[in-house]
Amino acid sequence: MKIISIVSTLVILLFAGAAQAEDRVTVDPISPVTVRKGSSAPVQITLHVQPGFHINSSKPLTPELIPTHIGFTPPEDLVIAKVQYPAGVLMSFPFDPATKLSVYSGEVSVKAVVIPAPQGGTGTYTVHGEVKYQACDNNSCYPPKRMPIAFDVKVTSASSKGTTARPTRTSPHIHN
């Protein structure tokens, strides 16, 4: 029984390792957001571009390049606004030292604001979204990827500190 348990754990780790090896970009778990009706609250999405890779910024310098983009599909009772991407870093790469590209590498923090809709209720909601990016290294570029994200938002009433939580409502998942 003990052996089965050890082997099962290792199998899971091996599969996770294999999947991780293909992830040129990962995203941190997104902290839950609490927001009162009538106000707004920040949310931060943190991406990690693996060493040796870069991704295009949200505003690449040529139209053919695919920008990094985070799309949200919030429930009707929420609005995700003011999505702010960091400025890209202008870098040249060995494949074309004469040309600078606007890219992200390392840690990338994207900020946005969660606003409860005026007609919406209180309770806990789940916001789904996806990160779209396209990664390259110094010799090759890899096809655009979409990575699902999700975070919880607790909406409380404007007047009280506490709230009676309604059943969790979720935004539709994105299918592409």
Partner 1 sequence: MNRNLFAPVLILFLYVAVSGQPLSGQQDAGHANSHSTSGGPETGAMAPDFSLKVIDGRGKSMRLSSLQGKVVLLNFWATWCEPCKIEMPWLAELQTKYGPQGLQIVGVAMDDASEKDISRFARKMGVNYPVLQGTESVADVYGGLEGLPVSFVLDRSGVVSDRIVGLVSESVIEDAIKKSLTGNDNTKAAK
**Footprint on this chain of partner 1 (rule: CB under 8 A):** 3, 6-7, 10-11, 14-15, 17-18, 21, 64-66, 93, 95-96, 99, 101, 134, 136-137, 139-144
Answer whether 49's CB lies under 8 Å from 135's CB: yes
Nearer to partner 1, 14 or 158 (CB): 14
110 burial (CB, 10 Å; 0-12 / 13-18 / 19+) is buried
Nearer to partner 1, 16 or 87 (CB): 16
Answer whether 111's CB lies under 8 Å from 43's CB: yes
User: Cβ of residue 77: shortest distance to partner 1, in angstroms?
Assistant: 34
Nearer to partner 1, 50 or 126 (CB): 50
Report the C-alpha dihedral over residues 15, 16, 22, 28, rounded to 10 degrees. 170
Between CA 165 and CA 123, with CA 32 as vertex, the angle to 5 degrees is 15
Nearer to partner 1, 83 or 141 (CB): 141
Answer whether 78's CB lies under 8 Å from 156's CB: no
User: Cβ of residue 13: shortest distance to partner 1, in angstroms?
Assistant: 10
User: Cβ of residue 97: shortest distance to partner 1, in angstroms?
Assistant: 10
Nearer to partner 1, 37 or 54 (CB): 54
Between CA 129 and CA 36, with CA 30 as vertex, the angle to 5 degrees is 90
